[in-house]
């Protein structure tokens, strides 16, 4: 995973509530068996005026000029400012993959759907939940040339006016993100505890170990 | 090795918190504590996973990750895989036409063969939607932790199992470690007391709940559904309710174990076999209820008798009203972001404030999905359809059973003929037009009465318009060409 420490970057505003993961990356792109290459199809149905298909060359597709990411002043934005319950719906990790592949590193919103939030943090994408008033204030400030600094170490956002906004993140998630650490390696440090639990569980709830599914004929 | 900046308590599960252990627990607390391996100082926990379900869309990158790291599944026997999202629902013997879909399904077959994972392949008679086959096979049992790379894993909570959707990185994590790193969510109780009226189903109950609390109403919480109206539901109805907990923002929904649960589970292929083991399991499962004085962080009470058949009018499941209501006016919405969202939804859906729901005409009908594709759903729909024919304006009406066993059961009961004679198409099991990853989809501008779970923009096809309803309501709309109140039939 790509470590995250600090960025100063352009901010793209997307003021809609309940942006779902179907909107972030439509289903036809989920047929890919890779983790990369989703960026050109991010927000596909809002970004383009025709229907997207996997492996399409997006350079020649008609753009929806009204959509925020198509406005030149927001090109290269690495911070997405969004509405409440961002990332709701399907658990598809293709959503953070698409956001990250497009170039986003941070999403700021009043709230996130739980699965999406967890998925972001596994992909070097930092979801920051601020309260409604703070997000509203940022929406009022954002515009062409507007940049924010996001520092994970100190857990602060700094506005161009020097205002510092603290944000919350679990210590363990912060640690993993700062160091770009693989969760599996960290968990496997507890392999003995997992094995011990499994032995205990096999005793307490033997019915859970009665059927070895892999033994059934394929 | 980088040392961890936060201490991990490996004895959290066993020594733990004596005071907390004595205080009353919710069902969620019990399931959580039972699966807890360790707890870090910042509250992140390592949770053991009893059952891992896999499908073709969210697993390929996870298997690839295992291979790249040279890892093996921790406990192969805990995994069960099935191809459902991409599979065609017609002429299955021909295989999959779309090469990209085909590659994804073949990749699942290959990955399961390589790692020794039990799979119901596309041609298997038991194949079906992952959230239908888990319970049907008894692979989902009370007291388990059940995860799957699919948000509708909340379905399995109907069994008093802690079940939730995960992302692909977590799929890889479960494969490699049989555990997940999780933070405990809050406890939310939704009590639906009283009797629902005739024609009101589990789908209407859960849509009414979402209409009341909103799509973020359960965010950060596990919802336990309780009350006499929930207890009166069959297991299939309970699955419908828990299925849509995610549409209320909650990763997991739960319903306490009772005799209905036990009767459903008994005798299923992967359920405990042998009288002694069964009795031992039942004794443990009977504990899977919230203690009487358990404390919830949030409580919502709903009067079941007030619930009418529900129809969504917009592009979020919370945009829902009763069938005898009209499309609401965004001008009545105080919140500016919500108002704009409602306006955009009306525009996308091409419906207008003040229009009676019963004057909304449909183009297509979809009866299926992990929400409503089980035998009772098909019986409900068939009861409305029997002896009638599709309205002229209905271009296509699909019935897609949730699994091979559901399909065969329906055929034994002659339901397939009821649908076919009325003009419906009787299909092979799969996710189908719920998310249109296969060839079943809406064309731009088409309007569909759907028994699925999401009415998002483009969900059932680019530019398609979805109204979520119960199977009976979808069937009635198919016959009349527009929504009708099933209570009047």
What are the boundaries of each domain within chain A?
6-181, 182-218
- Strands of the sheet with B221-226, listed across from one edge: B252-254, B221-226, B186-193, B298-303
Name the minimum distance, in Å, from the CA of B479 to any CA of chain A.
30
Mutation for testing the A interface, residue in B34, B76, B151 having most A CBs under 10 Å: B151
- How do the pLDDT tens digits run along chain B, 489 residues long? 566 667 777 766 544 444 555 799 999 999 999 999 999 998 999 999 999 999 999 999 999 999 999 999 999 999 999 999 999 999 988 899 999 999 999 999 999 999 999 999 999 999 999 999 999 999 999 999 999 999 999 999 999 999 999 999 999 999 999 999 999 999 999 999 999 999 999 999 999 999 999 999 999 999 999 999 999 999 999 999 999 999 999 999 999 999 999 999 999 999 999 999 999 999 999 999 999 999 999 999 999 999 999 999 999 999 999 999 999 999 999 988 899 999 999 999 999 999 999 999 999 999 999 999 999 999 999 999 999 999 999 999 999 999 999 999 999 999 999 999 999 999 999 999 999 998 999 999 999 999 999 999 999 999 999 999 999 999 999 999 999 999 998
* CB–CB contact B170 A122 (8 Å): yes
**Neighboring chain A residues of B344 at a CB cutoff of 8 Å:** 16
Between CA B372 and CA B367 the distance in angstroms is: 7
**pLDDT per residue over A86-129, tens digit each?**
999 999 999 999 999 999 999 999 999 999 999 999 999 999 99
Using alpha carbons, select from B104, B257, B47, B422 the residue that is nearest to residue A183. B47
pLDDT of residue A218: 34
Q: How far is CA A78 from CA A125, A146, A150, in A?
A: 10, 12, 11
pLDDT of residue A2: 82
**pLDDT per residue over B232-281, tens digit each?**
999 999 999 999 999 999 999 999 999 999 999 999 999 999 999 999 99
Helix segments in chain A, DSSP class H: 21-24, 44-47, 94-102, 114-121, 132-141, 171-179, 183-188, 191-204
Nearest to B173 among A111, A187, A201 (CB): A187
pLDDT of residue B392: 98
DSSP three-state, residue A196: helix
Please state the rounded mean pLDDT for residues A12-39: 95
Q: How many residues does chain A have?
A: 218
Residue reference for tokens 């390929």? B60
Name the minimum distance, in Å, from the CA of A109 to any CA of chain B.
13
Give the homologous superfamily in CATH for domain A6-181. Answer: Aconitase, domain 4 (3.20.19.10)
Cβ neighbours for B363, distance < 8 A, ≥ 6 positions apart: B393, B394, B395, B396, B442, B446, B447, B448
pTM: 0.95
pLDDT of residue B17: 46
- By C-alpha distance, the chain A residue nearest B176 is A184
pLDDT of residue B309: 98
Task: For B165, list phi and psi in degrees, rounded to 5.
Answer: -80, 150
Cβ neighbours for B307, distance < 8 A, ≥ 6 positions apart: B192, B196, B197, B200, B204, B205, B208
* CB–CB contact A194 B216 (8 Å): no
* CB–CB contact B151 A89 (8 Å): yes
Question: Using alpha carbons only, what angle is made at residue B42 by residues B37 and B45, rounded to the nearest 5 degrees?
Answer: 20
Given CA atoms B215, A32, A43, A176 in this order, what sign does their dihedral have? Answer: positive
* Whether pLDDT at A21 is above 50: yes
Name the minimum distance, in Å, from the CA of A10 to any CA of chain B.
23
**Neighboring chain B residues of A90 at a CB cutoff of 8 Å:** 150-151, 435, 454
Across the A/B interface, how many CB contacts are shorter than 8 Å?
240
Using alpha carbons, select from A76, A87, A84, A99 the residue that is nearest to residue A11. A76
Cα Rg of chain A, angstroms: 20
Q: Are B181 and B174 in contact (CB under 8 A)?
A: no
pLDDT of residue A182: 84
Nearest to A187 among B80, B98, B177 (CB): B177
């Amino acid at each position: 995973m790509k470590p995250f420490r600090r960025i100063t970057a352009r901010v793209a505003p997307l003021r809609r509530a309940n942006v779902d993961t179907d909107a972030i990356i439509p289903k036809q792109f989920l047929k890919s068996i890779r983790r990369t290459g989703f960026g050109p199809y991010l927000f596909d149905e809002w970004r383009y005026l025709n229907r997207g298909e996997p492996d399409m060359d997006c350079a020649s597709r008609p753009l929806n000029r009204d959509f925020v990411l198509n406005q030149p002043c927001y090109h290269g934005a690495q911070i997405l400012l969004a509405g409440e319950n961002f990332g709701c719906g399907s658990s598809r990790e293709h959503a953070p993959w698409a956001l990250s592949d497009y170039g986003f590193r941070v999403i700021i919103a009043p709230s996130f759907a739980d699965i999406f939030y967890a998925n972001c943090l596994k992909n070097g994408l930092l979801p920051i939940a601020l309260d409604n008033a703070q997000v509203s204030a940022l929406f009022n400030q954002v515009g062409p040339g507007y940049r924010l600094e996001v520092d994970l170490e100190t857990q602060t956002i700094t506005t161009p006016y020097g205002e510092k906004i603290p944000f919350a993140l679990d210590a363990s998630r912060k640690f993993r993100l700062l160091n770009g650490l693989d969760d599996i390696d960290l968990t496997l440090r507890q392999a003995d505890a997992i094995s011990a639990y499994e032995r205990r569980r096999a005793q307490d709830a033997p019915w859970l170990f009665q059927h070895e599914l892999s033994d059934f004929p394929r | 090795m980088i040392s961890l900046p936060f201490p991990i308590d490996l004895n959290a599960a066993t020594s733990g918190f004596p005071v907390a252990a004595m205080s009353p627990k919710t069902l969620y607390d019990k399931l959580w504590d039972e699966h807890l391996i360790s707890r870090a100082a910042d509250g992140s926990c390592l949770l053991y996973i009893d059952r891992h379900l896999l499908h073709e869309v969210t697993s390929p990158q996870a298997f690839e990750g295992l291979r790249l790291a040279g890892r093996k599944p921790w406990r192969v026997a805990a995994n069960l895989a099935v191809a459902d999202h991409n599979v065609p629902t017609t002429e299955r013997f021909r295989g999959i036409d779309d090469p990209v879909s085909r590659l994804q399904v073949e990749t699942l077959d290959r990955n399961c063969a390589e790692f020794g994972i039990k799979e119901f392949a596309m041609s298997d008679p038991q194949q079906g939607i992952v959230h239908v086959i888990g319970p049907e096979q008894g692979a989902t049992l009370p007291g388990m932790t059940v995860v799957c790379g699919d948000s509708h894993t909340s379905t399995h909570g109907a069994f008093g199992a802690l079940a939730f959707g995960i992302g692909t990185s977590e799929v890889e994590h479960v494969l490699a470690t049989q555990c997940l790193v999780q933070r405990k969510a809050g406890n939310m109780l939704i009590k639906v007391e009283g009797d629902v009226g005739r024609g009101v189903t589990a789908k209407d109950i859960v849509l009414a709940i979402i209409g009341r609390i909103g799509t973020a109403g359960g965010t950060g919480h596990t919802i336990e559904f309780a009350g006499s109206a929930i207890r009166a539901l069959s297991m299939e109805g309970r699955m419908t309710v828990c299925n849509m907990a995610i549409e209320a923002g909650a990763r997991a929904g739960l319903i306490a174990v009772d005799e209905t649960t036990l009767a459903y589970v008994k005798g299923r292929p992967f359920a405990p076999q042998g009288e002694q083991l069964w009795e031992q399991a039942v004794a443990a499962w009977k504990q899977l209820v919230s203690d009487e004085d358990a404390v919830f962080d949030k409580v919502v009470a709903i009067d079941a008798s007030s619930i009418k058949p529900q129809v969504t009018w917009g592009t979020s499941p919370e945009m829902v009203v009763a069938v005898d209501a009209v499309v609401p006016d965004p001008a009545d919405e105080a919140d500016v972001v919500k108002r704009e969202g409602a306006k955009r939804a009306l525009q996308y859906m091409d419906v207008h404030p003040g229009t009676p729901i019963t004057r909304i005409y449909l183009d297509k009908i979809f009866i299926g999905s992990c929400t409503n594709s089980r035998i009772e759903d098909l019986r409900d729909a068939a009861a409305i359809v029997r002896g009638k024919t599709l309205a002229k304006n209905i271009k296509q009406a699909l019935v897609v059973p949730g699994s091979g066993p559901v399909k065969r059961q329906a055929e034994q009961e002659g339901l397939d003929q009821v649908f076919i004679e009325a003009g419906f198409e009787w299909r092979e099991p799969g996710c189908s037009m719920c998310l249109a990853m296969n060839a079943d989809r809406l064309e731009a501008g088409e309007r569909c009465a759907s028994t699925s779970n999401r009415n998002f923009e483009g969900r059932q096809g680019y530019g398609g318009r979805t109204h979520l309803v119960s199977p009976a309501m979808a069937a009635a709309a198919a016959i009349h060409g527009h929504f009708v109140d099933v209570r009047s039939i």
